[in-house]
């Protein structure tokens, strides 16, 4: 992507939100199918975000050359000019301005003839700092397929994970592999529905609790699903300091509690916003867990770390 303005906007989004650019690992079962099919020894994750999928593949395939590229993430900003057996490009093209897509896809075609594209055909939940939707190019699957045909001999359509998604490969896929691919999608959707049902039940349970009768340990971290964390934040009567890393919907609520709402603040600068003292409660969603606990432990001696859903049974 040549448009530095967009790159800078996406860079700020990555810096200001820990969870942004971290969702591609849910495609691992599908990607493994194609790795086995191609029998590749080198992989490029084009538009890898914070690199979760890159690291997951490096762990699974320690002898394979797995590389990530994303111009908006400093760790992966260097463009790779080497050839690869396989390129993964998941939920990326919709973030690239339409007038630059031909250049981007042409560059990819020079790096590999085997590419798996996973596409999104609707607006994103996120907005950039300039007010634009994070998906700046929203086109139907057929539009993308016609574009790919200028650069690849094969454009093999596949299902996406959700109705707003589609996928395709630039190589032929045997019927047996397609059947496994589709089965993985069905299994994923079933698990997603089950987890949603669990979250609803947890929320109903929390709303029924009398928090006046619950002794909250001080100097403690709670983490869990965002909706669960938001309910806890609304219920607790804070007697110490409060840190909250949730989302923009919790901002006003956190202020009313006299706490620090850290949504949108880079994790590396958390210490500047943390209250002093040893009676602190921290609440944040599960997807922030590893990064935030590591940062907070560098200047807080937390006695307890609880998964919220377990503590408030």
In terms of Cα–Cα distance, which of 75, 83, 79 is closest to 46? 79
Q: Are 137 and 127 spatial neighbours (Cβ–Cβ below 8 Å)? A: no
Exposed / middle / buried, residue 166 (Cβ in 10 Å: 0-12, 13-18, 19+): buried
User: In the structure encoding, which two tokens stand for residue 67, read together?
Assistant: 């590389």
> Residue 203: inside a domain, yes or no?
no
How would you list the strands of the sheet with 241-244, edge to edge? Answer: 260-261, 241-244, 280-285, 220-224, 304-307
Q: Do 55 and 176 belong together in one domain? A: yes
pLDDT tier, 176 (very low <50, low <70, confident <90, very high otherwise)? very high
Q: Do 188 and 238 belong together in one domain? A: no
User: In the structure encoding, which two tokens stand for residue 282, read together?
Assistant: 């921290």
Query: In the prediction, which pLDDT does 266 show?
Result: 45
pLDDT tens-digit map of 256-303: 665 555 554 444 444 454 444 445 566 655 544 555 566 556 555 566
Q: Do 33 and 181 belong together in one domain? A: yes
Exposed / middle / buried, residue 211 (Cβ in 10 Å: 0-12, 13-18, 19+): middle
Selected residue with higher pLDDT from 181 and 231: 181
pLDDT tier, 249 (very low <50, low <70, confident <90, very high otherwise)? low
Q: Do 55 and 83 belong together in one domain? A: yes
pLDDT tier, 147 (very low <50, low <70, confident <90, very high otherwise)? very high
> Residue 234: inside a domain, yes or no?
yes
Q: Do 58 and 135 belong together in one domain? A: yes
Global confidence as pTM: 0.69
> Residue 247: inside a domain, yes or no?
yes
> Residue 105: inside a domain, yes or no?
yes
Q: Do 230 and 136 belong together in one domain? A: no
Query: In the prediction, which pLDDT does 86 show?
Result: 98
The CATH number for 28's domain is 3.40.50.150
Q: Do 101 and 179 belong together in one domain? A: yes
User: In the structure encoding, which two tokens stand for residue 22, read together?
Assistant: 């971290």
Q: Which of 108-112, 161-165, 208-212 has the lowest mean pLDDT?
A: 208-212
Q: What is the overall mean pLDDT for the chain?
A: 79
Q: Do 187 and 242 belong together in one domain? A: no
Q: Do 224 and 178 belong together in one domain? A: no
pLDDT tens-digit map of 73-108: 888 999 999 999 999 999 999 999 999 999 999 999
What's the number of domains the chain is made of?
A: 2
Range of the domain at 301: 209-311
């Amino acid at each position: 992507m040549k448009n530095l303005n967009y790159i800078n906007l996406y860079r700020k989004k990555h810096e200001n939100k820990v969870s942004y650019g971290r969702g591609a690992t849910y495609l691992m079962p599908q990607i493994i199918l194609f790795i086995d099919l191609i029998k590749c020894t080198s992989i490029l994750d084009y538009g890898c975000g914070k690199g979760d999928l890159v690291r997951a593949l490096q762990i699974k395939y320690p002898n394979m050359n797995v590389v990530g590229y994303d111009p908006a993430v400093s760790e992966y900003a260097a463009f790779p000019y080497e050839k690869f057996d396989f390129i993964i490009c998941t939920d990326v093209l919709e973030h690239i301005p339409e007038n630059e897509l031909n250049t981007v896809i042409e560059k990819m075609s020079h790096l590999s003839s085997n590419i798996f594209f996973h596409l999104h055909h609707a607006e994103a939940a996120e907005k950039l700092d300039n007010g634009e939707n994070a998906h700046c190019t929203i086109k139907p699957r057929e539009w993308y397929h016609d574009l790919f045909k200028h650069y690849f001999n094969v454009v093999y359509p596949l299902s996406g994970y959700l109705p707003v998604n589609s996928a395709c490969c630039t190589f032929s896929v045997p019927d047996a592999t397609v059947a496994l691919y589709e089965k993985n999608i069905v299994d994923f959707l079933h698990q997603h529905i089950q987890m949603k049902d669990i979250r609803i039940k947890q929320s109903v349970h929390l709303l029924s609790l009398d928090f006046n009768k619950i002794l909250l340990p001080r100097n403690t971290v709670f983490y869990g699903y965002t909706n669960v964390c938001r309910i806890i934040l609304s219920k607790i009567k804070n007697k110490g300091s409060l840190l909250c890393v949730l989302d923009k919907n919790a901002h006003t609520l956190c202020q009313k509690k006299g706490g620090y709402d850290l949504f949108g603040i880079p994790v590396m600068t958390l210490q500047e916003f943390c209250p002093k003292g040893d009676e602190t409660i921290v609440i944040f969603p599960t997807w922030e867990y590893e990064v935030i606990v590591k940062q907070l432990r560098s200047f807080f001696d937390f006695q307890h770390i609880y998964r919220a859903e377990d503590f408030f049974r």
